[in-house]
Chain A
């Protein structure tokens, strides 16, 4: 199913299609789901942050989770990864039920996540950050830790693997620096590389592009596409619609804690519910032209919007005058 079109060109790689079974509706069944969640509810006091009846994440594909601020995307992330516990609901990962399982055990099953606010371990070197990501280390037991001959060999293998990954993410020159000395974008890269050290089957990225410059964005996108080619499944939260359109094979839209739509990216973005809830009706209109600060042509819809803006401006001006 996945594209084998692994040419070096960084531009467009073939999307994975045919992921769903039957008609596309919110909660549609997938051909080969890696995560199946049922009746997940999480409330904070009176606020229902997440209320998902049924959702499936397709295996070996890139799934984007989008939605307005406060839609419950990160909360759902936390619930799926064991960082938070739902009030009710059950969900499985790769056939294992995860209900009531702690975050470290979930990670042990091969589901690794990154954070919206990057968590680089500042006072560890970049290489130490990477090595920490490796799973099943003999020397992480306190008694075996005292006898280096037990863990030296594994440590050397881990270091080798870390250096290969660091080269790929262009961080190898920084490997002996403290992670605290990295820039924001480099920390994002480090966090992603560190997550890959655990050789996961599902990588969950919480806003991987937030605060990353355009040049780095391109290489991050390629890294994410590479993950799919290496057989991993990716689920990410993102606000950058261009990125979502560019790399996602499947898009799940959340609003007010619920899944309101899902489907292949091009179709989802035409969906009226999605446009209303999230994208807004004027997403293709240049705001500069609408407000009259830049010369340019407007289509009929934008002209209406421009009139609306003008009307609002006048109202404000009137209010100021009557205030005097």
Chain B
């Protein structure tokens, strides 16, 4: 059992693009669920729209990398409008049902062979890196130490991702400490009371859905930035994983979603390396290495249950400020 290799992989995962992408999406869910009380179960669709918007506009229409990102973000804004206008008048639990269905519709649209020319259907999309890498200011070579040793492109993706994440966290913090954020939290508590005070609740909910959707789309883009867009990623369980990261850190906090994502990916990577290694040296005689990979996801599910039951406010949340236990 190569303990060093396992720890190195785990350490590396802490600032992996996937982790940053999850953190951005979790920030979006913090906006939707933690602060506004919108039970959006379709975050995977916002991420897919971001990633596909980015890749398609570069591959099919020859956009530069930043143009692709604008298309991805713009797509998520349009999706938020289409999703929000008919559903935000519904009660919370109906929103969850509708968003989960809408996310599946989006995923299947990207998966169908009808648009194979643009979406690559089941194969997904790749080979859109040239424009983004051409913008890389870091000279060629390998930098870093220990587990965090990457080449110039690896660092460029990570630095860019962390910068976007920092910007998103700042925006969320800035709006949530303002009177706008006060209205948003009021809507989470009781939207009729806020309406009676003369606030246009529907408009605020739509704004929240759009802002959180943009964070989700950027998360999808960062997730896809170093490698490829794979339709198998944007399934409903992605939304559940992002919720796990969010609840782990604290739903109604700014740094909670980020810390939650880092811990989620750290533990995921540790288990995916550690469990097969333990099977190989005979420490877990009752399972095979393939089974051990499934056990990893069972453990995620158990962790989510334990979290919601025993520490619903998450790591950073205020015990008094539980968002889903009333």
Q: Per-position contact with B for A107-150: 1 when CB-CB < 8 Å, else 0?
A: 11000111100011111100011011101011111100110100
Q: By the criterion CB–CB under 8 Å, are A113 and B196 in contact? A: yes
CB pair B179–A131 under 8 Å, yes or no, is yes
Rounded to whole Å, the gap between the CB of B12 and the closest CB of chain A is 35
Contacts of B180 on A, CB cut-off 8 Å?
139-142, 145
**Interface status of A169 (Cβ within 8 A of chain B):** no
Using CB atoms, name the residue of chain A closest to B189. Answer: A121
Question: A124-B182, A132-B182 known; A104 and B193 CB under 8 Å?
Answer: no
Q: Return the CB mask of B291-326 against A: 1 if under 8 Å, else 0.
A: 000000000000000000000000000001111001
Q: Given A132-B183, A146-B174, does the pair A119, B190 have CB atoms closer than 8 Å?
A: yes
Interface centre among B179, B196, B326 (most CB of A within 10 A): B196
| Known contacts A115-B192, A123-B188, A178-B320; A132/B197 CB under 8 A | yes
Residues of the A chain whose Cβ atoms lie less than 8 Å from the Cβ of B179: 131, 137-140, 145, 151, 155
B182 to chain A, nearest CB (A): 5
Count: A-B pairs, CB below 8 Å: 106
Complex: A249 Cα to B193 Cα, angstroms:
28
Binds A, one of B17-25, B60-68, B199-207: B199-207
Give the residue name and chain of the B residue nearest to A139 (CB): B179
How many of chain B's residues touch chain A, expressed as a range?
20 to 34
Which residue of chain B has its CB nearest to the CB of A179?
B189
In the bound complex, residues from chain A placing their C-beta under 8 Å from that of B326 are 122
Cα distance, A194 to B193, chains bound together (Å): 10
Within the complex, the shortest CB–CB distance from A40 to chain B, in Å, comes to: 20
B320 / chain A contacts, CB cutoff of 8 Å? 123, 178, 180
How far does the alpha carbon of A105 sit from the alpha carbon of B199 in the complex, in Å? 8
Question: Are A145 and B175 CB-contacts (below 8 A) given A104-B200, A139-B180, A140-B199?
Answer: yes
Identify the A interface with B (CB < 8 A): 81, 83, 102-105, 107-108, 112-115, 119-124, 128-129, 131-133, 135, 137-142, 145-146, 148, 151, 155, 178, 180, 191, 194-195, 197-198
* Closest CB pairs A-B (n = 7): A107-B198, A139-B179, A145-B178, A119-B193, A145-B180, A121-B189, A108-B198
Known contacts A112-B197, A121-B189; 5 further A-B pairs (Cβ under 8 A): A121-B186, A121-B190, A124-B182, A140-B178, A151-B178
B contacts, CB < 8 Å to A: 171, 174-175, 177-183, 185-186, 188-190, 192-201, 207, 211, 320-323, 326
A-B pairs with beta carbons under 8 Å apart, 8 shown: A83-B192, A107-B197, A113-B196, A124-B182, A128-B182, A129-B186, A131-B179, A142-B207
